[in-house]
Amino acid sequence: MPNWTVTFSREAKKQYKKLERSGSKKPSIIDVIDLLALDLQSFGPHLAAWPHYGLLGKDHFHCHLRKGNPTYVACWKLVDKLSRQIEVYYVGSHENAPY
């Protein structure tokens, strides 16, 4: 059973739906986002093992999902520590990231 509840903001859901799954053996960016959500559920907002993980401000975090052109990133925030709630508020290209 997950330790943390992870939700996607309305905007992040829209961004997620615009991304595509690849038909190759290589994991798609959607697969990587799904894995990030599972890690957030299991381990909470501090995911130091993810590439370029960092603190964006008080209780706001980000990491790189895939390097290249474009580089994909995700941003999330700790909504409530006591009830263990996290919200992913951005998934997409590094160029459009809200930081």
**How far from 34 is each of 26, 40, 51, 81, 91, CA to CA, in Å?**
14, 10, 16, 22, 11
Low-confidence ranges of the chain (pLDDT < 70): 1-2, 21-25
pLDDT value of residue 99: 83
The confidence score (pLDDT) of residue 25 equals 64
